[in-house]
Structure 1
């Protein structure tokens, strides 16, 4: 059922949002061009925590079985004190009849391999090292000038080029820029100890520490730190991370002691912005972090990106014009995205003031309960 108003589509950005959009729009019958400024399917970061609603979206995308086979799926989040003492558990139930578990995790490179495989299998041949220099719209379509001086003509353009989106600047010249939230995150892979069967948070200390299993033998550990924005060189990361983990006991003490000069650590400041809606202009629409970047407190950024693709393809199939489809997409999905962004920022605020663990987990639990509602 080819969307009559979107027979030919350009997707800018080959991350999770862009690959998901390529899969859903090809499945709907559209002809898809996918470009990215990077030289290949570039993966940035270590692991991904996956909520139940995200697993549901991945199931609708058609990749849940692969994610479950190569990653981790389970239920619940265990909340611990700094010394490792068990405080409480946050349930992560999905509605009756759901075919997915309530929680999960996967290595980001593994998810990229799964999604890129589906993109190629759908007949999409990405063009890398390419960007958009100019977008010109008229009543019938969009003319795009690429960085290699070639032209393309499309029914619509999907901007999936991340938090620093050039597409966003091209259609909304006065859009806000990403701003530092006051927190930075550290990520690294650690062994999965025997008996660890779920996600963990360690609250009540100077930083928030957590881990998510990503396979039968590995987890990814994260540390969220309140700090002035700073640039750290790779060489200083191991010692600095070990120092942050000094107060923490249980398995974390063992992970800390195992950090060495060759430990691979990803470190980045957390940024966000609030872009007024709607997140489209004419025949160009923004998805994923290009429209609604979220900090990782609810582990829902990747899930929203996949949901964006699913909802966009569905609305394009239901409507006979791009304008009507984009409006229906915004009416159906924008509030959900804003809820995730706002809730994540609120959890980050509570972390920064070192609110009691129960106050932090209450926001997490309430937000996750709302996100299980159908799209």
Structure 2
């Protein structure tokens, strides 16, 4: 029997929703607070590798993702001027028959998970978050921003890369570290020849496309930017189009006019990462997802490792009536996979920034995807 009955999840992103769904299905009483009153996941598309699809299958969401997204197989890596560098196979992950890779509109995946969170019986409170948390040996007392308070057996912190919980309870941990790159994302019409993930690797630039539906695909460009800076949003379409011009592939070139269309929904974000290397809990507070392992998108696994962590946390909590044991085992199961994603993604970024060996880049991707296909 678990030592936990009542749980508060702080943050309604992918990792928080995964934890809430998994714990509710295992009989826990779960509240989830999300500060955004609209519970709105912004962004363009998201690449989903096989390991993430397996995690979504565990949550019972795979068929819905297949229906509303696009499941494909393999990754084609090209040099910037066109020649094929390597074909990366993406077989089904161990223990599952799901596809090896895929893509979906990010808001669509968020909506699938939020609807499931509510349907599972989680008590969701929007426009609300914690104000103060007092931890004791017996409980976690939480005061909320709406003036209410409640005691829980466990608090799960999933409040993102800029986590206030991490700052408060792990003050020794550094702030997210900017890595010298930014990522551009956009939604583009999907030409018939784009049937899988394709990437073109240039000097200090990488462009990729991934189908997210029968009619559309998600395009991303990573760009070196030594200094973290704000750019006028009005200039984004022109900047994005100029970056596309660096890749002579006919398909990429034909799509340049679409960068100026409102439907492209262009987004730019500077890239940073976080990796908390010691225990992820302080007594009855445990942190998951981007709060402790925020990665750059080079392995398309940031959302995936967060979703996995929500599943594993629930699994460990029902195995023992010793909370410390459950949280220690959770950390042991998650550390190596999360470390691999954060550190290997950072290494891919360094290769891109310094114009390193393109084959080394492809091999790191291949080896990482093989490792992630192993059981969690």
Give, in whole Å, the separation in 1 of the partners of 2:204 and 2:241.
13
Give, in whole Å, the separation in 1 of the partners of 2:80 and 2:93.
33
Conservation of the 8 A alpha-carbon contact between 2:204 and 2:354: no
Cross-structure match for 2:359: 358
Cross-structure match for 2:257: 257
Q: Are the structure 2 counterparts of residues 251 and 205 from structure 1 closer, same or farther at C-alpha, using a change threshold of 3 Å?
A: farther
Cross-structure match for 1:305: 306
Cross-structure match for 2:278: 277
Q: How does 1:241-256 map to 2 (within 5 A)?
A: 241-249=240-248, 250-256=250-256
Q: How does 1:167-186 map to 2 (within 5 A)?
A: 167-186=165-184
In the TM superposition, what whole-angstrom CA distance separates every residue of 1:259-308 from its partner, at most 9, and x where no partner exists?
A: 21634211010011232311111010011001100100000011101110
Cross-structure match for 1:165: 163
Residue 333 of structure 1 deviates from its aligned partner by 1.3
1:345 aligns with 2:346: yes
Q: How does 1:105-254 map to 2 (within 5 A)?
A: 105-227=103-225, 228-249=227-248, 250-254=250-254
SS in 1 for 2:103: strand
SS in 2 for 1:4: coil
Q: With structure 1 as the length reference, what TM-score do the two structures score?
A: 0.96
Selected match of 1:22 from 20, 23, 28: 20
In structure 1, runs of 5+ residues without a counterpart are: none
Q: Are the structure 2 counterparts of residues 154 and 99 from structure 1 closer, same or farther at C-alpha, using a change threshold of 3 Å?
A: same
1:83 aligns with 2:84: no
Give, in whole Å, the separation in 2 of the partners of 1:273 and 1:110.
26
In the TM superposition, what whole-angstrom CA distance separates every residue of 1:28-66 from its partner, at most 9, and x where no partner exists?
A: 000111001111222122111011111111111110010
Give, in whole Å, the separation in 1 of the partners of 2:6 and 2:94.
38
Cross-structure match for 1:335: 336
Give, in whole Å, the separation in 2 of the partners of 1:258 and 1:215.
17
Conservation of the 8 A alpha-carbon contact between 1:46 and 1:107: yes
SS in 1 for 2:349: helix
Conservation of the 8 A alpha-carbon contact between 2:203 and 2:352: no
Which deviates more, 240-249 or 315-324?
A: 240-249
SS in 2 for 1:347: helix
Give, in whole Å, the separation in 1 of the partners of 2:287 and 2:3.
17
Q: With structure 2 as the length reference, what TM-score do the two structures score?
A: 0.96
SS in 1 for 2:293: coil
SS in 1 for 2:260: coil
Conservation of the 8 A alpha-carbon contact between 2:295 and 2:302: yes
Cross-structure match for 1:48: 46
SS in 1 for 2:85: strand
Residue 84 of structure 1 deviates from its aligned partner by 3.1
In structure 2, runs of 5+ residues without a counterpart are: none
Q: Are the structure 2 counterparts of residues 60 and 96 from structure 1 closer, same or farther at C-alpha, using a change threshold of 3 Å?
A: closer
Moved runs in structure 1, 4+ residues, more than 4 A?
none
In the TM superposition, what whole-angstrom CA distance separates every residue of 1:186-225 from its partner, at most 9, and x where no partner exists?
A: 0000111113211011013441100111111111000000
Cross-structure match for 2:322: 321
Residue 175 of structure 1 deviates from its aligned partner by 2.1
Residue 125 of structure 1 deviates from its aligned partner by 3.1
CA-atom RMSD, angstroms? 1.3
Give, in whole Å, the separation in 1 of the partners of 2:332 and 2:112.
30
Conservation of the 8 A alpha-carbon contact between 1:41 and 1:112: no
